[in-house]
Amino acid sequence: MLSKNCFRLYTNKFLFKQLCGSKINLPVKSQSGGSFSRSIYLSAVMSVERIATYEEVVALTKKPSVLLIDVREPSELQQLGKIPTSINIPLGTVTDVLQNMPKEQFEEKFGRPKPEPDTEIIFHCRLGGRSAQAMDKAIQLGYKNARNYKGSFEEWSKKNQENTQ
């Protein structure tokens, strides 16, 4: 059970935005009355409006109106596959690519226009953790419509296996 202080943190949008992208220790009270501290990575993905659903991503594979960015390493894509219409920008290069890569070079490399600050972007990885970090980086760079596909490739591949059987 989260303490009152922790609840205040989640409901105070100003404080939440200031701490976004930080690893913090939160006080937690157990049901038996004891308390302990839990360390978490505070991400903007905790905000419901920042989460993309499987159904939204399926729609993008048919009509890619939103930029879908896979932040896994290229070797992971080769080994596991990829979501159709996604482009690969590994997590370690997201900031540099979004901030410094010229528009012409971006379009030449990825076959899509470089996103503008108001472009809708959905990040994904294998399990949702790295994509949450990428989304936070994009938001810090001014991409206000960045979201995270929390289910990521794990959910995508599982649901697509079920649909093809």
Q: 159, 40 in Cβ contact below 8 A?
A: no
Could you give the count of Cα atoms lying within 13 Å of 140 in the half-sphere of its Cβ? 17
Phi then psi dihedrals of residue 100, to 5 deg: -115, -20
Which position among 45, 98, 125, 134 bears the catalytic label?
Answer: 125
Angle formed at CA 3 by CA 147 and CA 42, multiple of 5 degrees: 25
Q: 42, 20 in Cβ contact below 8 A?
A: yes
CA–CA distance, 137 with 123 (Å, rounded to integer): 11
For the question of residue 125 being annotated catalytic, the response is yes
DSSP assigned state of 25: E
Q: Which active-site residues does the annotation give?
A: 125
